[in-house]
Amino acid sequence: MAKSKGATPTQVGLAWLFEKGVTAPIIATTKVEHLEEAVGALDVKLTADEVKYLEEPYRAKSVHGHR
Q: Domain map of the chain by residue range?
A: 2-55
Asked whether the beta carbons of 35 and 27 are under 8 A apart, the reply is: yes
- pLDDT(66) > 70: no
pLDDT tens for 3-61 read 999 999 999 999 999 999 998 878 788 999 999 999 999 999 999 999 999 999 988 88
pTM of the model as a whole: 0.81
Nearest C-alpha neighbor of 16 from the set 45, 59, 56, 58: 45
Instruction: Tell me the percentage of the chain whose pLDDT exceeds 90.
Output: 72
Distance CA 58, CA 66 (A): 21
* pLDDT value at residue 27: 78
* pLDDT value at residue 67: 63
